[in-house]
Amino acid sequence: GNSVTQMEGPVTLSEEAFLTINCTYTATGYPSLFWYVQYPGEGLQLLLKATKADDKGSNKGFEATYRKETTSFHLEKGSVQVSDSAVYFCALLSGGGADGLTFGKGTHLIIQP
Amino acid sequence: DAGITQSPRHKVTETGTPVTLRCHQTENHRYMYWYRQDPGHGLRLIHYSYGVKDTDKGEVSDGYSVSRSKTEDFLLTLESATSSQTSVYFCAISESRDSGNEQFFGPGTRLTVL
């Protein structure tokens, strides 16, 4: 079956630090990959996505590249801000089986001023 | 923002009572989903719908049923709530089943079963 593995944290960084959150996946076929962000007390918002190998998704300074050879989709940002504090979820969607997203467990990111 | 509302937003109930959660959308999207979010598990799919009266089970469907009589409404029912169903429930919608298609999430319902 499908699965997503990501570091759970909490990950604590200082403002302006470089961020990497690792995500690896197992899936049948050729999934699409997503990063969602959840701010405190809110639902999930799509941060970025990539639908095929070597695609790079980017948004709000965040980037992730779909690496089929390493089955990875690591999230990066060059300089984080306090406002980036949130929970980040890596997820995949594949054509086989149920149509729902398969999520990782989430990474709680805390940015200190 | 996608037009998705969930009701109620918070509910406390007792073990053994029936509970119905409602998801309402104004986007006319065909696909609707119910997930639950628990610490250490991320989000897990409960049920989904691919059209009016067309539903199917997800990963954690035991103890839950769903109904969709109109495009805009997707109901999740716990026939007899248990403490293990204490969770935050999220509804999501998408326009198509294309693997690149984004799912939009509602604000969530926090359910506590005592």
Six-digit token string for B86: 């204490």
Number of helical H runs and strand E runs in chain A? 0, 12
The span from the CA of B1 to the CA of B29, in Å, is: 14
| pLDDT of amino acid A97 | 47
* pLDDT tens profile A63-75: 999 999 999 999 9
Measure CB to CB from residue B42 to each of A30, A98, A104 and give the nearest one. Answer: A104
Range B30-56 average pLDDT = 93
Range A45-74 average pLDDT = 96
Min Cα distance B109 → chain A (Å) is 10
The span from the CA of B92 to the CA of B32, in Å, is: 6
pLDDT grade for B39, boundaries at 50, 70 and 90:
confident
> Which residues in B lie closer than 8 A to residue A44 (C-beta atoms)?
43, 90, 105
Phi, psi for residue B106 in degrees, rounded to 5: -80, 180
The span from the CA of A27 to the CA of B35, in Å, is: 20
pLDDT grade for B101, boundaries at 50, 70 and 90:
confident
Report CA-CA distances (Å) from A48 to A51, B54, B86.
10, 30, 30
> Which residues are within 8 A (CB) of A3 and not within 5 positions of it... i.e. 6 or more apart?
A25, A26, A27, A102
Min Cα distance B77 → chain A (Å) is 19
- Mean pLDDT score across all residues of chain B: 93
Six-digit token string for A71: 């089955």
- The residue of chain B nearest to residue A99, with distances taken between CA atoms, is B97
Min Cα distance B7 → chain A (Å) is 14
pLDDT grade for A39, boundaries at 50, 70 and 90:
very high
pLDDT grade for A95, boundaries at 50, 70 and 90:
low
* pLDDT tens profile B66-96: 999 999 999 999 999 999 999 999 999 998 7
> Which residues are within 8 A (CB) of A77 and not within 5 positions of it... i.e. 6 or more apart?
A18, A19, A61, A62, A63, A84
Poorest-confidence range of A29-33, A54-58, B15-19?
Answer: A29-33
- The contact set of B with A (CB < 8 A) is 31, 33, 35, 40-45, 48, 50, 56-59, 90, 92, 97, 99-108
pLDDT grade for B1, boundaries at 50, 70 and 90:
low
pLDDT grade for B57, boundaries at 50, 70 and 90:
very high
Q: Under an 8 A CB cutoff, do A101 and B58 touch? A: no
| pLDDT of amino acid B96 | 78
pLDDT grade for A98, boundaries at 50, 70 and 90:
low
Strands B104-105 and B87-94: antiparallel
> Residue B20, exposed/middle/buried by CB under 10 A (0-12, 13-18, 19+)?
middle
pLDDT at A96 over 60: no
- The residue of chain B nearest to residue A106, with distances taken between CA atoms, is B42
| pLDDT of amino acid A29 | 79
Q: Under an 8 A CB cutoff, do A103 and B42 touch? A: yes
The span from the CA of A72 to the CA of B105, in Å, is: 24
Min Cα distance A86 → chain B (Å) is 14
> Which residues in B lie closer than 8 A to residue A32 (C-beta atoms)?
99-100
Q: Which residues pair with B91 in a beta bridge?
A: B34
Give every strand in the sheet of B4-7, ordered side by side: B4-7, B19-25, B73-78, B64-70
> Is pLDDT larger for residue B108 or for residue B101?
B108
